[in-house]
Structure 1
Amino acid sequence: MTAGRIAVLLPCYNEEAAIARTVEGFRAALPGATIYVYDNNSSDRTMAVAAAAGAVVRSERRQGKGAVVRRMFADIDADVYVMADGDATYEAGAAPRLVDLLVRDQLDMVVGTRVTEIAAAYRAGHQFGNKLLTGLLTRMFGQSFSDILTGYRVFSRRFVKSFPVLSAGFEIETEISIHALELAMPCAELPTAYYDRPEGSTSKLSTYADGWRILWTMVALYRSERPVTFFGAIAIVLLLVAALLAVPLAITYMHTGLVPRFPTAVLITGLTIVAVLCAFSGLILDTVTKGRREIKRLMYLQHPAPGE
């Protein structure tokens, strides 16, 4: 099998110090590929340096990595897509192995998991946060990847063209992982080296702010993809609270035939009504979710498997 047209997608912002090395690395690793650099409002010479290194340079004005990925996936037509950050931290030399695995096994995504012994490249706090979020994703969706936040991935055409990118920022990697899990796409992982940034390049990731955004994205996608479980859990909690409040009232009523705490009785009634509404909302939204998933699946099936 052959990989066909390969596009290397490099989103970047203010990476003048690293973009040339990144472009040259992927050009050497994948000589037949077209290298695209999508600039996201850089204030330095990133675009000029990338063009001089031989990349096709384009720009996306909406700020955020998710916005850049949305634009790249919409604009570029290829059979295999290699995506990595333009900061020279990912192992460009591993790209042929990732592409070969995708094509040979007719997969839809191969994840380049990060392996490094350089503490400054992959800080302990980031590793802990990644493990925490990965474990949470596993509990939510029943399965996951070992590194859901890596920016190094290889996609099939049918993955890219069936993926409705909704995220705006660094939570895009989480959305990508959930999209693959929800459509039960064939995926794999390969360990790849992760390097420290070149001098003059700085991380754009805000540990706490982006961590909260990723966590919120996971909750929002869980609500969207698992509405019965999400709203059912809320309904159960409300019913339990209503039951606890109702016990003293029931005991008093059995002994006296009176309901002395009328406001509590009203609260119990309100909680029960809201619980029932939550349960029915989950059931209705589950039908909507299944319909939306079927549409995405049909879009996915319109494209051939890699190598065909």
Structure 2
Amino acid sequence: MPFTPAIAAIVPCYNEEAAVAQVVTDLQHAVPGISVYVYDNNSTDRTAAVAREAGAIVRSESSRGKGHVIRRAFADVEADVYVMIDGDDTYEAAALPRMIETLHNGPYDHVLGVRRQATATAYRPGHELGNRGFNWLVGKVFGMSVSDMLSGYRVMSRRFVKSFPAGSTGFEVETELTVHVMTIRAPHSEVEVGFKDRPIDSESKLRTYHDGARILGLVAQLTRHERPLFFYGLIGLTLLLVASLLGAPVVAEYLSTGLVPRLPTTILATGIGVFGALSIVIGLVLDGVLRARREMSRLIYLTHPIPDAQGVER
């Protein structure tokens, strides 16, 4: 039956008094009728009051971190189309209609806003290079190319949002969203969006090295969970190689003399080889468990319909 898709924008905010009103206003102007949910994450300024005055629905999340906000919002907000955008007024809100149209026309479950600098200083020093490095790493590990995995601007279908496990706590949630696209093979597209400097009175919450290390740690953790055969197999093969290098001279000497004079080396090589074989077996077992888990995730994902280009629920 025909219906008008409900569109909800989720805006995580912490001390964004200088920017949040503009973000709310721009979203409402770009997509009339959109519901803008501003999640105040323990701000110490007037972020919540300013957002409310601008017409947003303001909610609070006491656990600090963007991941906590996204997990709470995805659980609480009911909509057909979800928009995630940072509250620092750096993303081009005017690009939102194009992103929503792309989602419907695909139809896709996830549309990524790929940042293109509107000013030469939009990216902090080193951030663009780091982002490219993470894009390459995740693409190689999970087998799907992505142009801007750390973008905080995304449009998603209901079935994508409601199947997202949301285990992250901080800025690494963007990485988790990107990997979720790859693991369930959700239909995905990208749209270029403008990216500009933060307002003068707005301060970035991203800590370059600290958050970069957390993102790298999450990539390793997700590789262990989502590519167990690759992860444990690589460890196992490395251990078997080390065991072979240690044990080859001992075996050669035994074959020529019938003696094993280097007993400690023999024991060490055998132990490392056993651990290597066990690692590969663990990878095989967990790979079977992963297949069952992915089948369940896929079934949950398919329980939710997606609107097509004409706004008809399918």
Is this a same-fold pair by TM over 0.5?
yes
* Contact 1:226–1:286 (Cα < 8 Å) also in 2: yes
Q: CA deviation at 1:189?
A: 0.5
Where do 1:1-308 residues align within 5 Å? 4-307=5-308, 308=313
* Structure 2 alignment gaps of length 5 or more: none
The one-letter amino acid of 2:272's match is: L
The one-letter amino acid of 1:75's match is: D
* Contact 1:3–1:99 (Cα < 8 Å) also in 2: no
Distance 2:248 2:274 in 1: 18
Q: CA deviation at 1:273?
A: 1.1
Distance 2:260 2:40 in 1: 68
Distance 1:35 1:117 in 2: 25
Question: Segments of 4+ in structure 1 off by > 4 A?
Answer: none
Distance 1:163 1:3 in 2: 24
Q: Deviations over 1:18-45 (max 9, x none)?
A: 0011111101111111110001111111
Distance 2:253 2:81 in 1: 70
Q: Deviations over 1:56-89 (max 9, x none)?
A: 0001111110110000000000000111000000
Distance 1:242 1:117 in 2: 54
Distance 1:187 1:254 in 2: 58
Q: Deviations over 1:175-203 (max 9, x none)?
A: 10110111111111010101111111010
For the residue of structure 2 that corresponds to 1:35, the secondary structure is strand
* Contact 1:88–1:197 (Cα < 8 Å) also in 2: yes
* Contact 2:168–2:176 (Cα < 8 Å) also in 1: yes
Aligned-pair Cα RMSD in Å: 1.2
* Contact 1:113–1:147 (Cα < 8 Å) also in 2: yes
Deviates more, 1:254-263 or 1:194-203: 254-263
Q: CA deviation at 1:265?
A: 0.8
* Contact 2:118–2:194 (Cα < 8 Å) also in 1: no
Deviates more, 1:210-219 or 1:245-254: 245-254
- Tell me: CA distance 1:47–1:211, structure 2 relative to 1, closer, same or farther (3 Å): same
For the residue of structure 2 that corresponds to 1:204, the secondary structure is coil
Distance 2:93 2:118 in 1: 18
The one-letter amino acid of 2:185's match is: A
Q: CA deviation at 1:216?
A: 1.1
Q: CA deviation at 1:251?
A: 2.2
Distance 1:139 1:209 in 2: 23
The one-letter amino acid of 2:128's match is: Q
For the residue of structure 2 that corresponds to 1:278, the secondary structure is helix
* Contact 2:81–2:155 (Cα < 8 Å) also in 1: yes
- Tell me: CA distance 1:3–1:282, structure 2 relative to 1, closer, same or farther (3 Å): farther
Distance 1:194 1:225 in 2: 31
Q: Deviations over 1:61-120 (max 9, x none)?
A: 111101100000000000001110000001111111111111122110111110114232
Q: CA deviation at 1:254?
A: 2.4
The one-letter amino acid of 1:196's match is: D
* Contact 1:157–1:306 (Cα < 8 Å) also in 2: no
Distance 1:171 1:241 in 2: 34
Distance 1:108 1:26 in 2: 20
* Contact 2:80–2:306 (Cα < 8 Å) also in 1: no
TM-score, normalisation: structure 2: 0.96
Distance 1:2 1:251 in 2: 76
- Tell me: CA distance 1:206–1:2, structure 2 relative to 1, closer, same or farther (3 Å): farther
Distance 1:252 1:193 in 2: 67
Distance 2:307 2:173 in 1: 23
TM-score, normalisation: structure 1: 0.97
For the residue of structure 2 that corresponds to 1:7, the secondary structure is strand
